[in-house]
Amino acid sequence: MCYQVQLPSKEGQRLKMKIITGNANPDLAQQIAEHCFATLVPANVSTFADGESSVEFLENVRGEDVFIIQSTCTPVNDSVMELMIMIDAARRSSASRITAVIPYFGYARQDRKSASRTPITAKLVSNLLTTAGADRILTMDLHAGQIQGFFDIPVDDLTSRVVFAKDIKRSIGWRDDPEVQQQGTVFVSPDAGGVVRARKFADMFGGDIAIVDKRRPEAGKSEVMNLIGDVKGKHAILVDDIIDSGGTLCNAAKAIMDAGAISVRAYITHGVLSNEACQRVEKSVLDELVVTDTIPNRCPKNCKKTRQVSVSNLFGEAIRRVTNEESVSSLFV
């Protein structure tokens, strides 16, 4: 499984599109624009003295295919509000189509009622974005696939799998080292909900899968990690969509090493990495944690075990295809 990037040449016909960024992840937006041979629309995206968001585009977007890039990451509520205001500004500026490019979709973990009197906030945010004027959503590795159904507009949910696969082959020498191939690679899901993700990785590499079954025997007791599958004498790779505090991941890594794995790495799309997560990873048995740049790097420079790989190329190609009315799903076929 691979994808092939076919970006327009500088000499080629100019794509009739405009790329705008908020304050959540401007570095990623800049890289995406460069891949599309475009420049970011100059805009003032700021706050008033009382904390209200203020947006003004400094370039005409009338009749343009507008892509607004904004991960709804920390500060989450500010990022969401900023995105909605930018969408409204583009709509009132007569943009022909508005695509909200949301590399990391915050509130995605609130996709169901967890108790009797709780909201489904992922659905609420979906409604707000549609009401604001978005015509299309472009995102990556939604926490739950059914969130696509929360929207009444088209949603393209990209996957980091193709980007991670290249890095895995390079980092553990999977392609060139016969010893690594002989030892084997096992892809581990940190919970039952991620089995499909682990299986897709395993299918790409011809490897096996394992599942970490975490249970809390009773209130106040620490979690017990039960490993389902064989990892002994193999290189284990944990795959997931989000790392937040890092506690579950580090405990899972320890359980894997205790079961006889040669090494354990983690490839996780969205590095939320709240509070002391980076330090927790640094002290763990993990050889390495690899995340994408859907969220700006939150780890201090002295955290050597955590690194980022960029998905800007993938988003740039997806934007080109949306503009040219080409298939986006064929990126992963």
Same domain for 291 and 206 = yes
Closest of 231, 232, 250 to residue 240, by C-alpha: 250
Cβ contacts of residue 19 below 8 Å, gap of 6+? 29, 32, 33, 36, 38, 39, 40, 41, 66, 67, 69, 319
Whether the bond between 217 and the residue before it is cis, its omega within 30 degrees of 0, is: no
Same domain for 318 and 230 = no
For the stretch 131-170, pLDDT in tens is 999 999 999 999 999 999 999 999 999 999 999 999 998 8
Structure tokens of 16? 């009739």
Boundaries of domain holding 275: 161-309
Per-residue model confidence (pLDDT) at position 16: 74
Closest of 254, 327, 325, 308 to residue 103, by C-alpha: 308
Per-residue model confidence (pLDDT) at position 181: 57
Catalytic residues: 214
Same domain for 325 and 253 = no
For the stretch 84-99, pLDDT in tens is 999 999 999 999 999 9
Mean pLDDT of 212-239: 81
Scanning the structure block, which residue is given the tokens 């040669």? 262
Tell me the pLDDT band of 192, cut-offs 50, 70 and 90.
confident
Same domain for 148 and 37 = yes
Per-residue model confidence (pLDDT) at position 206: 86
Strands 185-189 and 235-243: parallel
Q: What is the dihedral of CA 142, 148, 150, 155, to 10 degrees?
A: 110
User: 326 near 14, Cβ under 8 Å?
Assistant: no
222 pLDDT above the threshold of 60: no
Same domain for 326 and 232 = no
Percent of the chain beyond pLDDT 90? Answer: 79
In a domain, 292, yes or no: yes
In a domain, 9, yes or no: no
DSSP 192-234: GGGHHHHHHHHHHHT-EEEEEEEE-SSTTSPPEEEEES--TTS
For the stretch 8-55, pLDDT in tens is 444 444 567 999 999 999 999 999 999 999 999 999 999 999 999 999
7 pLDDT above the threshold of 50: no
Closest of 138, 6, 113, 24 to residue 75, by C-alpha: 24
Per-residue model confidence (pLDDT) at position 219: 53
pTM, two decimals, is 0.91
Tell me the pLDDT band of 301, cut-offs 50, 70 and 90.
confident
Specify the CATH number for the domain of residue 165: 3.40.50.2020
190 pLDDT above the threshold of 70: yes
Q: How many domains does the chain have?
A: 2
User: 132 near 66, Cβ under 8 Å?
Assistant: no
Distances (CA, A) of 171 to 164, 176, 200, 269: 10, 11, 19, 17
In a domain, 29, yes or no: yes
In a domain, 173, yes or no: yes
Scanning the structure block, which residue is given the tokens 């092939």? 4
DSSP single-letter state for residue 99: E
Q: Give the separation between CA 215 and CA 228, rounded to whole angstroms.
A: 13
